Amino acid sequence: MQNINDIVASIRRGERLSASDALVLWREAPLWLLGELATQRKREVSGRSVFYNRNVHLEPSNVCLFNCEFCSFRRRDGDPDAWTMSIDEVEARAKELRSADITEVHIVGGVHPSHNLDTYVEMVRRVKRQLPHVAVKAYTAVEIFYMISRAGVSIAEGLRRLAEAGMECIPGGGAEIFDAALRKKICPDKCSAEEWLEVHREAHKMGLSTNCTMLYGHIETLDERVDHLERLRKLQDEAPGFDAFIPLKYHSRNNRLSAAGECSVEDDLRTIAISRLFLDNIPHIKAYWVSYGKATTEMALAFGADDIDGTIGDTTKIYSMAGGTERPSMSVEELENMVRAAGMEPVERDSHYNVVTKKVVDKVERVENKMEHKSIETKKIATMAEERVVARSKAREPERAATKRATAPVRTTQSRKPAGEGRTKNAKSTVWAFLRRRPIIANILYIGIFCMALVVVLFFALKSGTRHNNTIVVPNFVGMTIGEARADAERRDLNIVVRDSIFDVDLPGGTIVDQLPGTSEVRDVTVKPGRKIYVTVNAFNRRQVDVPYVAKQTLRQALNQLERSGLTVDKLVYEPDMTSTDYVERQMVGGKEITSTSNRKVSVGTGVTLYVTYHRDNQQTFAPRVVGMSLAKAKANLWDYGLNVGKVVYDESVSDVIERRQARVYKQSVAIGSVHDRGTKVDIYLSANDNLVDSLRLVAEKEAERAETERRKLQQAKQREADSLAKLGVIN
């Protein structure tokens, strides 16, 4: 495991990112750095292009056998808001789409208990019959595995039948998070990660292209995210066929994981960027605008995304039922404007990422044919006019000759005009006469002159408006008061915007403690004049907040909810339980229990005591690595593993409050990977000496890697033992 500078250098050399290095970047790299690295990688793959398509979704039913914790779409058969379309209704809907300007129909829905492989095959066949010119992207691996398993045929045979009916590619849904333990918590009924991967593996071997996804932002850990990405990358190495990876943001409305809340926009952008850097063999990263919303999608294009999905036309309810974009629909013009606003070039694609040019070619041909027809007509008219002029001229020739003789002036040397003047006037009259006789050439010439003038005007206008090549090095505002920072920013033509506040009793009110974009010791961070610098300040008075009721849910959910409320953990108290581990039974603040009906306000930063259960088989936990982390991240990591924070000690390099906030852990009181009872206290030691911290972090990361390997081996051994006992139990 390397430090950030080494990781960045290896990325710039084009080397593959390891799982451990991806975790370091995810947790510790500045957001601007991730954006820069991901954009560089994106440009190597697709240049300035950002892809979109013209598509609609067809969701035959929201009735589903499976009952996933995170799902807001699923309904039981007979529920008032459940729907199921018959095959005839599906075909009728496809028939309605004949007049729609689309290139793809995307078919997904619930796993309906009465549907089988023949149902799904016939559904595709009917859609393709009505829309032979449109690609059918159909069914998640979860739906496919269920229907094929129920039919009792091989995955290859089932896919062959679907492909023969007209299915051209497979969407990436249903992957969720691959970790088996987490999968048991959030989607225990679905096919396993191995089964999901096997469906896509067989599809790739058959030449069917597919997408892949990851549902993130609920109760998973960063380690589980990276493990998920690594399995996708391995499959793509083994059997290439993934066109795009789509990070799907979890939305919390109307499902049983609602208490977990939703992750931040920064987490969205980090996820997009790490996906681009880690998945070096999957060409496209999609920022699904229905999930992110238009504003975040536009930002994602600066963090490695090169696809935003399509027009959709208000045809999907999966995300809107979970709190995503209501009535999702965007015109081609809106999609292209979004891409251009991000400084990229919009490119229409089909379902296989072929650039759609037919409409443009047809339009050009129509224009050229029309111009050619007009040219022929104009030539005919001009010829007829010339013939009439010649005829009239011949008829009047004797009359002109007589007039010329009668009025001819006496030629003297004084009456002559300068030779040059005569030639100039004759040339001008000849040019104008030529252009009048050939209006098409004249029009082309006028258009060319106009375009050249427009280009010149736009060049100077854009250069002035965008202040090209005019940049400012971002100063470090951390430690200044908000007044000092605003005065300094105004002198530099920057704007200070307060995005958040904290309260630290040791820090003067109004002091800036963080900024975005931040500064770097490695290189200057530059921005355009007039740019906004977002800062976090220390409040003058501690803000009062409501204490949320976090009992009766998992520890991870409770920690997330406390963090969003601005509160922290005082300590974790573990109590034995017969059934569950890491489940919060009750909570206390200031020695008083908080119930679901309590209406208690406390100061921001107040600690809450959580009483957490553990099963007798899960009394112990592993000590994680916190060396190299900030104090806040170290605390969060220890709590995630069921450990308490003991003493917090700063060394002599920390001389003031600002340095204390920037300090990182260089030592922890327990060995990484060592086994302890839940609730054990871990002392942490911090320093502002970056050289010291980085050197010790390298040692700690290698130790963590070894400990993780040993832990997985132990878990695998226990699983094999459990499987053996289970088989013996079945035999007996």
Is residue 406 included in any domain, yes or no? no
List the beta bridge partners of residue 536. Answer: 500, 514
Is residue 388 included in any domain, yes or no? no
Q: Is the pLDDT of residue 111 over 70?
A: yes
CA 313 to chain centre: 21
Q: What is the pLDDT of residues 176-218, one digit of tens each?
A: 999 999 999 999 889 999 999 999 999 999 999 999 999 999 9
Asked if residues 342 and 295 have their Cβ atoms less than 8 Å apart, the reply is no
41-50, 84-93, 220-229, 630-639: segment of lowest average pLDDT: 630-639
Average pLDDT score over residue span 93-112: 93
Q: What is the pLDDT of residues 254-312, one digit of tens each?
A: 888 877 788 888 999 999 999 999 999 999 999 999 989 888 999 999 999 999 999 98
**Domain check: are 302 and 450 in the same one?**
no
Q: Cα angle vertex 297, ends 295, 298, to 5°?
A: 65
Query: pTM for the complete prediction?
Result: 0.55
**Domain check: are 610 and 514 in the same one?**
no
pLDDT at residue 367, rounded to an integer: 38
pLDDT at residue 436, rounded to an integer: 66
List the beta bridge partners of residue 614. Answer: 576
Q: What is the mean pLDDT of the chain?
A: 84
**Domain check: are 485 and 577 in the same one?**
no
Is residue 37 included in any domain, yes or no? yes
Asked if residues 117 and 148 have their Cβ atoms less than 8 Å apart, the reply is yes
- pLDDT band at 643, cuts 50/70/90? very high
CA 76 to chain centre: 32
Q: Which of 316, 331, 346 is the last residue of a domain?
A: 346
- pLDDT band at 325, cuts 50/70/90? low
Is residue 416 included in any domain, yes or no? no
**Domain check: are 57 and 142 in the same one?**
yes
More reliable by pLDDT, 233 or 567: 233
**Domain check: are 145 and 261 in the same one?**
yes
Q: Quick one: which of 146, 130, 136 has its CA closest to 104?
A: 136
**Domain check: are 340 and 237 in the same one?**
yes
**Domain check: are 602 and 678 in the same one?**
no
Average pLDDT score over residue span 636-646: 91
101-105, 154-158, 552-556: segment of lowest average pLDDT: 552-556
**Domain check: are 493 and 547 in the same one?**
no
CA separation for the pair 83, 675 (Å, rounded)? 51
- pLDDT band at 358, cuts 50/70/90? low
Q: Is the pLDDT of residue 359 over 80?
A: no
Q: Is the pLDDT of residue 582 over 60?
A: yes
61: left (phi over 0), alpha (psi -120 to 50) or beta: beta
Range of the domain at 511: 472-538
**Domain check: are 189 and 280 in the same one?**
yes
**Domain check: are 131 and 265 in the same one?**
yes
Q: Quick one: which of 52, 70, 34, 296 has its CA closest to 183?
A: 70
pLDDT at residue 655, rounded to an integer: 78
pLDDT at residue 465, rounded to an integer: 53
Task: CATH number of the domain at 732, please.
Answer: 3.30.10.20
Tell me the HSE value of 577 on the side-chain side, using a 13 A CA sphere. Answer: 14
* Percent over 90 (pLDDT), the chain: 48
pLDDT at residue 411, rounded to an integer: 42
Is residue 356 included in any domain, yes or no? no
- pLDDT band at 67, cuts 50/70/90? confident
CA separation for the pair 432, 426 (Å, rounded)? 10
pLDDT at residue 528, rounded to an integer: 80
- pLDDT band at 326, cuts 50/70/90? low
Pair of tokens at residue 13: 């050399």
Is residue 333 included in any domain, yes or no? yes
pLDDT at residue 274, rounded to an integer: 97
Q: What is the pLDDT of residues 388-405, one digit of tens each?
A: 444 545 554 554 454 444
Number of domains the chain contains: 5
Q: What is the pLDDT of residues 499-540, one digit of tens each?
A: 777 777 677 888 898 887 877 665 677 888 888 888 888 887
pLDDT at residue 559, rounded to an integer: 87
Q: Cα angle vertex 660, ends 658, 661, to 5°?
A: 70
